[in-house]
Each structure stands twice: as C-alpha cells, then as structure tokens.
Amino acid sequence: MDQKSLSKQDDLHRPRIGVDLLGCEISGEDLLKALIDSHFEGQHPPKFSFFATQNIFDSVVVPEDMTLVTVTDEIDAQEDPMRAVRRKKDSSIHVGLQMLKTHDLDAFISAGNTGVLLANAKIQLPMLPGIDRPALITLIPTKKEPVAVLDVGANVEASAETLLQFAQMGIAYQKTRGIDNPCAGLLNIGEEKQKGGPKLRKAYEFLQKLNENTPLKSPAFIGNIEGRDVFHGNIDVLVTDGFTGNVFLKTAEGIAGFVLDQMHDLGPIASLPGLKSLLNSVSHRLHYAEHPGALLCGVDGIVIKCHGASTPESFINSIKGASRLVKNFFIQHLKTQLNLPM
C-alpha cells in the first residue's frame, strides 16, 4: 500500500471534531490560535472543522488539514432560543449540528448560548428511543471516582418520569466508562424518602424500580442524598433537575475557586515539604478547567457544551473527551446499556 493510501486509511480512523469558535468569553481568534498550537497525541489525532465568521479566519493562519466553515449569523448570550432557531439558520450552532446529523462530523463542541444549542439539537438530532428529554451530564471529582451529575442545565424543571430517565442515562453513561454496577442517588434536602416536594417523593418511588433486577448488595438506586455528601464518592450518578443541578454545579465551582485562592494565599507555608505536593494535587482535582464540558445525553449524537468562561485548556480537554467517546463508540454502547435498538 502506498503512502497516499495509508494516509487516507489513517484519516478514516481520525475523530472528526467540530469546534464552535463563537459564543465564548475568549475571542474566537485567540481560541483558534490556541487549538492550532495544541498537540493532540495518539495514533489517530482529531480532524478539525472550525465554525466562525470570516473575520476570525482572516486573522489566523490555519493549517491545510483543518476545515474552516464560515457562517454569517452570530448568536449572543441573551438570544431567545426559538427565535434563533427560526431566523438564524447560518449560525455556527445550527450549521455544526446539521453536519453532525448528516454524519459529516463525529462530535460537535460549543460554548455558545445553551438554550439555542439545546433547541437546535432537539430539532435536528433524533432522540434516543425511550428518552423524552436530553440532559446535560458532567463529571465532578469526589474522594473516590468522579460522579456523573445530570441534569446541569438542559431542563429547568423535570417530572418524576423524566428524573427516572435521567438516572437510566447516567447509569448507562457510567457503564460506558467501565463501572460495572453504578448506583444513583436523588439530590434532596434529606435522606428520608418522604423529604422534598410531591415531585421528588414520586421520583423516589419511580427510581426504586431500578433495583428490581439488581443484587441487594449492589442497588442501582440508593435513595436520597444531600449536597454535602455527594463529594464522599459513595454514588456514581447524581440525579436532579436542570435548575437545581446547575446551581449545585456552579456553587461547587465557586467553593473550589475560593479554596484554591486561599491555598495560594498561604505564602511560605505552601512551600513546606509534602504540603506543596498535596496542595498541587488538590488544586488539580478542584480546577474545573481540567475537566471536559457537559455532554448532551439523550440525543443521537455527541454534543458537548462548554462553559461560556471556558479557557483554551477546557476546550482542549473537551476535544480529548469527545475523541475518546467517538473512538469508544459511545453512542452505540449507550444504546446497548439502555437496551435500545442500535
């Protein structure tokens, strides 16, 4: 086989990742430069398609093997989602998801308007059978393994039935990460099953159905869990609605940032033998830029939503995370774990 044929064969295995350069607090030019300068190791590094307005591409020299997709419509953070879906067909979000739908991309990453991204995804991409609403799922560090939290912003409200679906998706997601018997907890104001309003009490009853076919020693649902106990790492999936989940996540990020600032203010103490190594380890675990963005779980496609204040480092980790999902056939495995048709 000649070198040209080998190159084409290699391209077939490279994850095709679409990156939206618009809608982030960092400028599109700076983000593009940072991603171009990044080195993605491995046998099959990602193949990029970047989405932005022409002025951004005009200011940066881009390698020939990277695809530039020029759009004309820009969406701001305050844009009404349905208005944007109807009127801005040439936005980076719309065009990127369209390419994901037609299988010209394997994954799409954006830090743009969350509502517009969700609305476009629900309209353009098929839902997984048996799932009524997609959820944003993210991993947060604990004393043990990372816990998958969903929903963290896709649905301000969620019925008891929807919370059950969230739990099923979260458990399936953790199984794709290699956890054999993931267990879920319902975020509530107390551990007792009668805690919370009618919706949460009903959700508790529904979630108990997850234990019908699981061993007594390895229940899929362990009951209610308070926010302070999540970080002990005794659950693999935290189930909640998008409003509460988003508040929980941002509060955790804020506390983590506060702790990091306090550690940096220790002065000479921070350089003591042993303590410096410990502080570096804690800093690494708490720094949420180390972790990829939230995965939109429930649609038939890999869509990752980055924080609007994401750094290039966070985008790089999101790209790595998306590449792993593609290479590990995440959607196919998710369907299998959910007992859905392929």
Q: What is the pLDDT of residues 165-221, one digit of tens each?
A: 999 999 989 988 889 899 999 999 999 988 999 999 999 999 998 988 777 778 899
**What pLDDT is stored for residue 223 in this prediction?**
94
pLDDT tens digits, residue range 279-294?
555 555 555 445 568 8
Closest CA to 52 of 78, 80, 73: 73
Locate the domains of the chain by residue range. Answer: 1-128+298-342, 132-288
pLDDT tens digits, residue range 22-81?
988 889 999 999 999 887 766 678 999 999 999 999 989 999 889 999 999 999 888 888
Pick the CATH number of 132-288 from 3.40.50.720, 3.40.390.10, 3.40.718.10, 3.50.50.100: 3.40.718.10
Residue 33 to residue 264: CA distance in whole angstroms: 29
Q: Where would I find the H helices in the chain?
A: 3-12, 28-37, 54-58, 81-87, 92-101, 114-124, 160-176, 198-207, 242-264, 275-286, 312-327, 330-337
Least trusted range by pLDDT, from 116-125, 130-139, 332-341: 332-341
Most confident of 31-45, 235-249, 256-270, 279-293: 235-249
DSSP string, 199-263: HHHHHHHHHGGGGTTS-TTS-SEEEEE-GGGGGG---SEEE--HHHHHHHHHHHHHHHHHHHHHH
**What pLDDT is stored for residue 2 in this prediction?**
44
Class of CATH domain 1-128+298-342: alpha beta
pLDDT tens digits, residue range 123-178?
999 999 889 999 999 988 888 888 999 999 899 999 999 999 999 999 989 988 88
